[in-house]
Amino acid sequence: MKTVSSLAVGTATVLAITASWGSQAVSTAFLRNSEVWVRGPGSADAYQITNDGIGKRLLVLSKGGDRLAFLRDSAAEMADIVVMRTDGSLLNEIHFRPVGEAVSGMRGVEQMEWISQRRLVVSGSINPSTGEYDVLDAETGALIKAYGTDGSTWVASPDGEHAAYLGFIGHFTPEADRRPRICLDDECGLGPSRGYPKEDVHVDFITSPEWSPDSRAVAIAAENYETHVRSVIVRHLGGATVDIPFPQQAAGNPDMKWDGRSLIFSCAGGSWRLDPGADRFAEVQVGGRKN
C-alpha cells in the first residue's frame, strides 16, 4: 500500500489576541482551558495569545522559541494545523488531509514536532506495527518528504535536514521473515532498499538511532537474530557503514551518546569510546583507571 499525503492551505481566520508578548522568543508555551499561553525566559508572567474557544492539542514550540504550532479541533480534515508566531499573529493554517480525499496512511496525527525553524513533522500509526512520518513546510504547508516506518522509530538530524528510521515492514510479516534495516533519508521505500543491513541478514535493533551533533553520522545498536551477537552500527552520510561488535565485557542494554565526532558507549560492564576511523572500541579511563 503506497502512502500518499494530501495537503491544502486555506484562508485562515486570524485568532483573537487577548495579550501580546511581542516577537521575542519565549521559553514555555502551554494550553490552559483550550487557549495558548506563553511565558518568557526567566519570567513568572504568562500571556494568553489565543481566544477562539476552540479545542486544541499537541502544542509544540519551535527550537528558537519564536514560533509554535498546534492542532485545532476540526471535522473538515484529519488535522487542522495552526502555525503562529509567539506574539499571537498567524503564520499559516494547514488543512492536512481534508475529509473525502482518497488517501492511505496514518489513521490520525498522534505526534508533532519542530525539526528546524521552518519544518514540522507530523506522525501517526498506520497499524499497530507501522508508522507514517510527514515533513511539512510550516510556512507554505507543502509536503517535503513522507516516510513509512517499522514502528515509531524516526529521528531527525540536529540540523533538521536528514532522517534516520527503521524501514517499512508489512504488518503481517512473520517474525522469522522480517528484515529490519536502519535507513537514511530516501533509502527505504516499500520495495528493495539501500538500508543496512542487506536483506539476507536478520537483526533486531535494541536502541533508537542517535545522531552525531554535526548531523553527519548516526549510531544504533543491534542483535543478530540467529547468532545473538550484538553490535553497534554507525552509518555516515555519503560514506561507509561500520558494524562493530560489543566489547566482551559489555552487559545489559547500552546507552550511547556522541562526544563531538566520537561515540561513547556505556552499559553495566563499563564505558567505551569509538573514535573516527576506529574499527574497535577503546575502554574509557576515569581518574587514571579504566572504567
pLDDT for 43 equals 83
Residues 201, 2: Cα–Cα separation, whole Å: 25
Q: How crowded is residue 143: how many other Cβ atoms within 10 Å of its Cβ?
A: 16
Dmax (CA) of the chain:
67
* In the block, residue with C-alpha cell 509536503: 143
Distance CA 16, CA 13 (A): 9
Instruction: Give CA–CA dist 91/270, Å, rounded.
Output: 49
Within the chain, which residues score under 70 in pLDDT?
Answer: 1-24, 190-193, 286-291
The cell numbers describing 30, all together, are 502551554
Residue 30: the pLDDT is 96
Torsion sign, CA atoms 226, 232, 236, 240: negative
Q: What is the pLDDT of residue 46?
A: 92
pLDDT of residue 14: 34
Q: What would the pLDDT profile of 186-216 be if each residue is shown by its tens digit?
A: 998 755 567 999 888 999 999 999 999 999 9
**In whole angstroms, how large is the CA radius of gyration of the chain?**
22
pLDDT attached to residue 13: 33
Give pLDDT, residue 193. Answer: 62
Residues 115/116/122/127 CA torsion (nearest 10 deg): -30
Residue 105 grid coordinates? 496512511
H-type alpha helices, the chain: none
Give 151-163 pLDDT, tens digit per residue: 889 999 999 999 9
CA dihedral 168, 116, 143, 100 (to 10 degrees): 90
- What's the pLDDT score for residue 268? 87
- Residue 175, φ and ψ in degrees, nearest 5: -55, -40
Global pTM value: 0.85
Task: Give the pLDDT of residue 12.
Answer: 34
